[in-house]
Each structure stands twice: as C-alpha cells, then as structure tokens.
A and B are shown apart, each in its own frame.
Chain A
Amino acid sequence: MSKPSDLVQGTLDLLLLKILALEPLNGWAISQRLRQVSGDVLQVSDGSLYPALHKLEQQGWITAEWKATENNRRAKFYSLTRLGRRQLQKETESWTRLSSAITNVIRLEEA
C-alpha cells in the first residue's frame, strides 16, 4: 500500500471530505487543491488518492458524477452527500479534540 508517510493515519478522509464540502471536484483537481491550500505541506501521492476516493464513495459519504471539465474532457466529479456532511462534522470534532489535546501535551513546561 502506498500511504503518504507525512499524513497522520486516517486524516486523508477528513481532508478529502473537507475539500469536497467546498465544491464538487474531480480527482486531479482535488490533488491540486490539496497542495494549494496546505502550501505544499500536505502531499497526497497520486497512488493513494483514488483508492481513498473510491472507499469514501462506497461508504456513501461522497457521490460521483461524470461532467465535462473546462478543457472539455469528461471527468468524474465527486461531491459530498448528506451523510458525508455529517461524517465531516464528526471527524472535524474529533480532530479538533485530538489536536488540541496533543498541543496541550506538547506545551507542557519541562521541569
């Protein structure tokens, strides 16, 4: 399996859901968008992107539709479902909880 080493396990789903929550996008656009918004910090390898998308689709969190792109090729556009929105909310909350907890730990004063 080709899991990106720099992505915390399980956060890829969160990132994808969040990006798709803003607007429906195709796979290529998703990878571009991810790089843009994270300032190249979060790089998802091309290899792991599509299996992840298919998994989310199978869980019913995102749904796909074939549409024409700006350069007039057909591409598969993913968008968030109602379920996906709820899932995003849940994952966001748990991420916030987790990251703030970790932040607190890191900020402990060394005695």
Chain B
Amino acid sequence: MRVESWVYTIPLRLRSLFRRRLVEQELDDELQYHLHCKTADYVSKGLREEEARRAALLDMQGLTQRKEECRDARRVNLVDDTLQDIRYGLRILARTPGPTALAVLTLALAIGANAVVFALFQSLIARPLNVPRAETLYSLERKDSNSGRMSYPDYLDFRDRNRSFEGLAAYEISPAGLDTGSGNPSSVYVCMVSGNYFDVLGIQPQIGRVFHASDERGPNSAPYVVLSHRAWRERFSADPLIVGRTVQLNKHPYTVLGVTPPEFRGTLLFFSAEIFTPFVNQEQITGVNHLNERRMLSVFLTMGHLKPGVTPAQAIDDINAIGAQIEKTYPTDVARMRFTLADPSLYGSFLGRPVKAFLAGLMLLAALILLAACANLGSLFAARASDRAREVALRLALGAHRRRVLRQLFTEALLVALAGGAAGLLASVTFLRALSSWNPIPRFPIRLNLEPDPFVYALALVLALLAGILFGVLPARQVLAMDPFPIVKSGRLTGTHPRWTARDLLLAFQIAICAVLVTSSLVAVRGLIRSLHTDFGFQPRGTLLAHSALTMAGHPAAAYPAIHQRLVDSVAAIPGVEAAGLIDRIPLGADWANSLMYPEETTDFRPSNAAATAVRFNVSPAYFQAAGTRLLAGRLFTDHDHPRAPRVAIVNRECARRVFGSDAAALGRWFRLRNNIRLQIVGVVEDGKYVSLTEPPRAALFTPLAQSPAAETWLVARTSGNAAEHIAPAIREAFRQTDPALPVYIEPWTQTLDFALFPARVATAALGVMGLIGALLAVTGVFGMAAYSVSKRLKELGIRMALGARRTEVLHAALGRAFKLLAIGGSAGLLLGVLAARVLAAIVYQATPRDPFVLAGVVLALLLLGLVATWIPAHRALSLNPVALLREE
C-alpha cells in the first residue's frame, strides 16, 4: 500500500522540489482559473465586473494564504523552509562575526576536549587489545602487590597444572644490544616470551613464521627472533627478504623467523613491542640464568584465554590451589601465592587503576566544560534573541507562527553547534595524531595508539547537536512568552525581570567549575615545580647519566669488574668531570629490586622472617660523591671492598632505624641476605626517593658493585659548571674505547627523571589545559551575561545618567550582578578546588592546596577574568549618550 503510493508521490515531490517555478505557476493558474469562473458566475448574476472579481477573491478568503496551505499540503515546505532558515541564519550570523566566532570557538573547545578525552578512554579502556578474542584474555595478578611477577619455575607449574586456561603465556621485557649487521649495535627492548606466546594469543605472522613451544629445548636453545611490524619497518627498512636473516643480540647470532602483522603491538598498551625471542634465551639476553631460580621473579606477566565454560571465579580458585601447593612445597623460596585475574593491557590494576581514575576525572571535567559551554551559549543566544526582540515581534505580529520563529532560532543554534563541533573535532584529531607519535620517554618505545575511531566522530556530532538543542532552548522560552505588541511599540523586551534566573545560576555554577579547574591546575603546577626541587636523596642537577648493559657486548660476568673499573677511570679523567660512579639501577627509574634483610642469627630464610625489605642498589665507590648523596655516619665504599674482601653494605637512615633502631646502632652491625651471605654495615647515608616520588620513606640497601657484579650499568658523572654539552661526547668516546660494541645512551639525569615525573607532568598538563579552557569559558560566560544586562538596561542606564548618576553608580547598576555572581561562584569553586586538590596529592608530589601562592593565584585569576570579561560591556555602559538614547524612542 505505502510502496504503491510512492509511484505517485515521489515524482510529485521531486517535481515540487526541482521544478519550483513551474509548480508555482501551475498553482497560480489553477486558482486564477477558479477566480475567472467565479467572477463570470457573479457577473451573470448581475454584479459589475469589478465587484464580481472582488467577491470571488473574498470567497477565496485570501489568495496568498490559500497558496501557502497548498504548498504545505505539498510537504516540500519543510525542505524549503529549512533551506531558507539556513540561508537567513548564515546571514544573521555573518552580520555579527565577533559573537559568532566566540560561540563557535567556545563549542570547539568544549567538544574538542570531550572528543580527546573520549578518544583516550576508547583507546586505553574501552577498546580491547589488538589480539583475537581480547575479551577473554586474562593476566594473573598478585592479590597483595598489584604485580604480575613470578619466577620462571612458578610459571611452568601454573602453565602445566592449571585446568582453566587454554594456554598460559609469559613474558618479560629486557634491554639488549641489537646489531642488524652494521657492527654498530643499538639498544632495544626485547620481549622475552614463552614459546607458546604467539599460539596462546592467536597471532599469525605477516611474513615467515613465529616460534612455538616445540622450538624451546632448554637454556639458550632457541636463537630465534620475531620482529614487530614497526621494528621491521624502522630497523630493517621493511626488508622483504628478512626471513632467515641473522642478527646479533648481545653478540649472539639470532635468526629472524618472521614479522607480526602491523596491528599487533604486544599486549601492553603503552609499550610498543619491537622484538620477540623465546624466554629460554634469558641468559644471553639478561646475562643471568634464572630459569631454575624460584626466588627470582623473572617473569613480568603471565596471561591466557579462559577455556570455554570456565568462569573467572573458577579460574582464580584453580590458580590459587596450585599457588598453595607451591607455597607448601617451597616454603623458604616463595612469598604468598594468591592471585586474581586482571586485564593484561594496563598491567592489571597497577596501571589500570590510576589510569581509570585519571580518565574518569578528565571525563567529568570535560563534561563540566561542555555544560559550561552550553550555559554560555545559551546566554549568548538569549542576549541575541532579546536584541532581536523587535524583529521577532514584528514577524509574530505579521502572522508568522511561533513555531516557525522558533525553528529559525534553532536553525541558527544548530548551525553554530555544527560549526563548533566540526572545528572541535578537527582540533582534537590533530591533537590526537600528535599525541600518538609522542614518545615521552625517549629511552623506551612508549607509544599510545590514539587513532580516533568512528565512535569519537559520532560522539562529537551527537554532542554538537545536543549542545545546539540545549542552548537553542533558552531563547526559545523567551520567544514563547513574548507578547509582540508592546515590543513592536517600544522596541525592546519589557516586563519584570526575576531577581535570579536559571541563567544566573548556570553562570555561577560555571564560574565555580572554572575556579575548581584553575585551583587544581595551579596546585598541580606548584606541586610539579616543587617536586623538581625536592630532596631526592641525590642531586640530579649538574650530572650526566650514561646507560648501558655489559651483556649487550656479550661479556661474561667475570669480566664486569675490570670493564667497570676502566669505564669509571676514563670518565673520571675527562676534564670537567668532578666525580664518576656506577650504579646498577637508577633510583626513580623504570624498575627496582628488593632485597630481604635478615637478622644475623637467622637460619630459616622464609620471607616472613625478614627484618626488612629494602630497595637494593649495587654501586661503585665514587657513586655517592657523583650522585651527591650525603654520608651521615661511618664510611663510603672504597676500592678495598673488592670481591675477596669481607662483604660490606651501606644503608639509608630509614633502614638503619627500622632494623637496628638508629644510625649509630647500625654501624658495624651484621645482617644476612636471603642467600645466607653475611654483610657488615659500614656506613649510613641520607634517605631518598627510590621508586616513586610519592612513596613513604623506604629502606634502601647499597652494596659494592665489585662484590655483586651487574651487567646493567648506569654511569653517573658529576660535572662542574655548564660544560655538560662537551662532556657527553667525551663520555661516549670513553665507552667506545672501552668496548666499541657497547651501545650507550647519554642524557642529563634531570631528563631521566622524566620517568618518575611523567604521571605528574601528564596530570599537570591535562589540568592546565582544562583550567585554561575553563577560564576561557568563564570569561565568555561573564562577558555574555554582562553584555546582555547592559544592552537590556540601556534605557534605564541612560535615564540614570541623564538624572546625574555618577559613573560608579552606573557601573554598579550595569555590572553589579555579574560581579556578585563572580564572587559567589568563585568562592564556591575555590572551596571545591581545595577539596579536589586533596585527590591530586596522590598523583602530583607535594601538591597542597594550603599554599598562599595558590590561593592568591586563584583569586587573582578570577579577578583578572572578571575584569577582562566586563571590560567591553562596562565601556559600553559608560560611553552611553543619554540624550541620543532617549531621543531614539
């Protein structure tokens, strides 16, 4: 039935749309014919020609109106009117380019911010990993430490004994020297993965093949690598003959088996994996073989797909039953083995929780910004509508339907909204592209994949439309309540104004949001600045760090002390270097190691018997001078603390206090490590920050590098004055002369600290941007409100001035409300901001809202903001010419 009717209606509609003139002509002809007949009819009844025509027209009850009804019946008026509205709207908007640009910009900011935050949410949380069946992929996470670490033998037990996973894969990330054949190795991060890794994940190679569990036959038995697409492109210029080529990892030959597809970037969202090699090659990659060490937690993460029909709860029970058996079998070797299932993409809740909390905060802020922008545009459009009250009233008085007038206003609002949405989307896409290629910490292949997906575009469109409707409604109320006749007479809206309107409330709310944003960004910036000058327990300024790993040049552990000695000696000899020391792990770096300290008399070394858990560092004698760590009691290490000398240790004050009671009590005392080695404490140094900036005081244990050799080498060179630029090449040369095959990465220590400061930096930057947007919105909001109130009361102000009011009184009358709102909203926002800053303190070190600088800053910012926003309206109010204004009526 319906379809059949289209046979008739579609040609009609098309004709009405595209043959407009013809259709109009026909309509006129048709009605004229009727009039002609009717006139003739009347003439035949005895009326004169003229009277007859008049009577015929009267019978028609208005020719134009009837034509309009016929057009309505044709239903093309909708399209027609819309086009007309758009044309008219564009003309009106173009007539006031300033406010229009302001409105578009406001929306672009708000929608852009939302699109960016949503894209972040999409790529970090909502969108699954780029692996098949990502939704059933789970990792194991320790219940008590948010860590997925376990020993390799533990992993094997879980892999072989569990009945819940289709397969359990494991991996660890380790730096290694990669020589692609140039003889000049560079440092890469290698993913050491279990043989079943690709099979568990279901990754098919793009070129060649991947390795399987059957390729592993014991330690160092599988000299194969699989390249990520990116590594293949960037390090091997996408060599099509790559399969079968031999490369060197830490001087050991490895065969390239294949390349993974471009969308596979490993299973850690932040980390773009480059090279995969079987875990059994641990000794060649890291320099140590811990494949049989149950005490060494050498596996970073284990993961797998649950078997069909197995619930996560069942899997957890299964895993924990195995964990309990392991605990019982190796009581002195393993700590508590209780696990839960987690998401591998953000390393479970270790990164997942802060990232989620941070994103939730950002989304809330972005939503508030959008709301503020809508409130803003609503007032802007209401002001515009009241400025056009006369035009609207005239149209109403001439018989336009209110609906038609509203549609016109809505069209304008939607035009602005769509323009703003498009601009915001464009800006956010540009920003996201930049963020995707950003490598915040050059040493690591940290990359975010932030390609905006269709959802992001859809969100921007929906937000734009929603915003348009939202702020189109505010002026609509005004039009609906309008009585056209007094307005046509007087030219402006009359009637009483309520003391406080919804718009005022919105504005106060918006100012409060802005104050929250400004407060928290100031708190964050202050905290960041302070954390750069905080007491780390070392002095990063004026030092250079050179990082390398002796395994990369294929040296055996026995050769480490000699190489270390040569490196330290040659760097210390560089003019401008005051001290040069070595440490195996840099404090506040990407990783750390803990050692359990036992009382001297201990015989049972199960973890629960330890006196303290201390962060462990192995250092050369000059490290403390080079790092600028102060000695509080006892002595530093010397060259006499060599491998054959008695084992010694230096602890920090926190460790001394915790294990022995005080600095003095610790000196000369003995303790044991888990491997039953006895050490004597010879010195106590100041406390510092070792793992994160926000950590509580931690116990730290330093041992001589010569007595516990390590392949990881961080050389700390303290330089005098600002000769750092010349010293870096000299250090590189010193490394090259020691061993040309040793890749080295040199940067100022302050730069290396970026890793520790990264979360604070990101939080500060994000809050700063949000704060700025919030401030901008508050300015436009207050401006809109002030401009509106001035334009609405021009006549009143003119009369006041004519009656001799002083300038201050005029200003008060014109802008009093704007400032009152600013004060109310500002103080509420400041209060909320101070509360919000408490939350911030967890991310940004030393962020405290009880800071006179911050409080003064916020007040100043709000004042400045009010001044900027009311400047133009105030100027307009003061430059009124009362005579001209009153005569105009």
Q: Which residues of A contact B (CB under 8 A)?
A: 1-2, 26-28, 31, 45-47, 50-52, 54-55, 57-60, 63, 66, 73-76, 81-83
Contacts and interface: CB of A to CB of B under 8 A. Distances in A.
B61 interface: yes
Contacts of B62: 47
B38 A28 contact: yes
Given A47-B61, A51-B66, A51-B73, A27 B30 contact: yes
Given A63-B8, A76-B29, 19 more contacts: A2-B61, A26-B30, A26-B33, A46-B38, A47-B61, A47-B62, A50-B66, A51-B70, A51-B72, A54-B73, A55-B73, A58-B9, A58-B73, A59-B5, A60-B5, A74-B33, A76-B33, A81-B8, A83-B5
B883 interface: no
Contacts of B72: 51
A55 B7 CA distance: 16
A28 B33 contact: yes
B37 interface: yes
Contacts of A50: 30-31, 34, 66, 69-70
Interface in B480-507: none
Contacts of B37: 28
B12 interface: yes
Given A27-B30, A60-B9, A76-B29, A46 B59 contact: yes
Interface string B644-687: 00000000000000000000000000000000000000000000
A70 to B, nearest CB: 11
B26 interface: yes
A45 B30 contact: no
Contacts of B1: 83
B91 interface: no
A28 B72 CA distance: 21
Contacts, number: 76
A59 B9 contact: yes
Contacts of A76: 26, 29-30, 33
B7 A60 contact: yes
B31 A83 contact: no
B73 A28 contact: no
A13 B391 CA distance: 39
B26 A47 contact: no
Interface in B48-87: 56, 59-62, 65-66, 69-70, 72-75
Contacts of A27: 30, 33-34
A97 B7 CA distance: 31
A54 B65 CA distance: 14
Nearest to A76: B30
A87 B669 CA distance: 107
Contacts of A52: 73
B889 interface: no
Nearest to B62: A47
A54 B60 CA distance: 16
Given A76-B30, A81-B8, A1 B69 contact: yes
B36 interface: yes
Contacts of A47: 59-62, 65-66
Q: Which of B30, B38, B75 has the most CB of A within 10 A?
A: B30
A31 B1 CA distance: 29
A66 B8 CA distance: 16
B111 to A, nearest CB: 39
B601 interface: no
Nearest to B58: A46
A47 B38 CA distance: 13
Interface in B2-50: 4-9, 12-13, 26, 29-31, 33-34, 36-38
Q: Which of B37, B60, B61 has the most CB of A within 10 A?
A: B37
A31 B35 CA distance: 12
Contacts of B38: 28, 46
A47 B29 CA distance: 15
Nearest to A51: B69
Contacts of B61: 2, 45-47
A83 B4 CA distance: 8
Contacts of B8: 60, 63, 81, 83
A32 B218 CA distance: 106
A30 to B, nearest CB: 10
5 closest A-B pairs (Cβ-Cβ)? A60-B8, A60-B5, A47-B61, A54-B73, A51-B69
28 contacts: A1-B69, A27-B33, A28-B37, A28-B38, A31-B34, A45-B59, A45-B61, A46-B59, A47-B59, A47-B61, A50-B66, A50-B69, A51-B69, A51-B70, A52-B73, A55-B73, A58-B9, A58-B73, A59-B5, A60-B8, A66-B26, A73-B36, A76-B29, A76-B33, A81-B8, A82-B4, A83-B4, A83-B8
Interface string B160-193: 0000000000000000000000000000000000
A81 B8 CA distance: 9
B73 A75 contact: no
Contacts of B56: 46
A106 to B, nearest CB: 33
Q: Which of A26, A50, A66, A74 has the most CB of B within 10 A?
A: A50
A100 to B, nearest CB: 27
Contacts of B69: 1, 50-51
A84 to B, nearest CB: 9
Q: Which of A60, A63, A74, A76 has the most CB of B within 10 A?
A: A60
Contacts of B29: 74, 76
Contacts of B73: 51-52, 54-55, 57-58
A87 B49 CA distance: 41
Q: Which of B34, B66, B70, B72 has the most CB of A within 10 A?
A: B34
A81 B72 CA distance: 22
B427 to A, nearest CB: 45
A50 B62 CA distance: 12
Contacts of A46: 34, 38, 56, 59-61
A75 B30 contact: yes
Interface string B567-585: 0000000000000000000
Contact of B12 (A45, A58, A75): A58
A26 B31 CA distance: 11
A63 to B, nearest CB: 6
Contacts of A58: 9, 12-13, 73-75
Contacts of A54: 70, 73-74
A1 B749 CA distance: 83
A81 B5 CA distance: 10
A67 B59 CA distance: 25
A96 to B, nearest CB: 22
A105 B550 CA distance: 107
A107 B286 CA distance: 106
A75 B74 contact: no
A86 to B, nearest CB: 8
A59 B62 CA distance: 25
A73 B40 CA distance: 13
A52 B70 CA distance: 8
